[in-house]
Amino acid sequence: MIVIIDYGMGNLGSIKNIVKKAGHKSIISKDSDVISNASKLILPGVGNFKEAMNNLEHLNLIEILNNKVLIEKTPILGICLGMQLMTSFSEEGNVRGLDWIKGKTTKFTFSNQPEIKIPHMGWNEIIPSKSHKINTDFEIPSRFYFVHSYFVTCEDKKDILYETDYKGVFTSAFNKENIYGVQFHPEKSHVFGLQLIKNFIELC
Catalytically active residues are 80, 185, 187
Q: Do the strands 2-5 and 26-29 form a parallel or antiparallel pair, or are they unpaired?
A: parallel
Q: Provide DSSP, 48-100.
A: -HHHHHHHHHHTT-HHHHHIIIIIS---EEEETHHHHHTEEEETTTTEE---S
Residue 44 phi, psi dihedral angles, 5° rounding: -80, 180
Give the CB-side neighbour count of residue 57, counting CA atoms within 13 A. Answer: 11
Distance (Å, rounded) from C-alpha 59 to C-alpha 83? 19
Q: Residue 170: how many CB atoms within 10 A of its CB?
A: 20
